Amino acid sequence: MIQAGGNMIVDIGGGTSEIAVISLGGVVVARSLRIAGDEMNEDIIRFVRDEFNMLIGERTAENIKIAIGSATPLKATMEMPIRGRDLVTGVPKEIIINDENVREALSRSIRIIVNTIRTIVEETPPELLSDIMQKGIILAGGGSLIRNLDVFIADETEIPVCTIEDPLTAVVRGTGIVLENIEDLREVLVEMEDDRPLL
């Protein structure tokens, strides 16, 4: 179940994105970015403010991101009505936002995440990289559910990407796997405890 060699994990959560290359010996290279799901919500709030002169809350922004957020153009346009407050008159109003708007809003954050993945790839020892090219980058975390984010990362890095099943609960399930294999993993766990904080 647990494979030797290199694995690259990109975990896009709420507050942070964690990008790491791990092997059975532990963490080889890693970065933590403060750009993840929360920042994407902020991106949408800023975009709606600047483009539509409208103020929306964090909750509305998150709903938009989940409903129509994407990293590359979709087969069919998606749009949704959103309510907020007109910045000039202060009066409630409704506008229609579409997938292209949201893509533009999210593009800067997604670009930063992709550039960081590329930096990590550059820092990865070649013998692990060939392994990662074969197995693909593993995408996890709720933020990885943005439509076509896997396709975009694969295009930009020229490395295949696989999104894990049910990325929102991956950490919980991963901990379960570790506990089931605690004897096999003892060496790794001890080393991580001694040398560096857990990811």
Interface with ligand ADP (CB under 6 A): 13-15, 37-38, 62, 65-66, 69, 141-143, 145-146, 168
For 39, phi then psi, to 5°, come to -65, -35
User: Which of these ranges, 57-65, 99-107, 138-146, 181-189, lies near Mg ion under the rule CB under 5 A?
Assistant: 138-146
Residues 2/24, Cβ–Cβ less than 8 Å:
yes
Contact residues for 186 (Cβ-Cβ < 8 A; gap 6+): none
User: Which of these ranges, 7-15, 26-34, 36-44, 108-116, lies near Mg ion under the rule CB under 5 A?
Assistant: 7-15
CA gap 36, 47 in Å, rounded: 17
62 vs 99 by CB, closer to ligand ADP = 62
6 vs 13 by CB, closer to Mg ion = 13
Contact residues for 65 (Cβ-Cβ < 8 A; gap 6+): 37, 40, 41, 44, 102, 106, 146
Question: Is residue 141 a contact residue for Mg ion (CB under 5 A)?
Answer: yes
Question: Is residue 13 a contact residue for Mg ion (CB under 5 A)?
Answer: yes
13 vs 84 by CB, closer to Mg ion = 13
Instruction: Please give the residue ranges that form the binding site for Mg ion (CB under 5 A).
Output: 13, 141
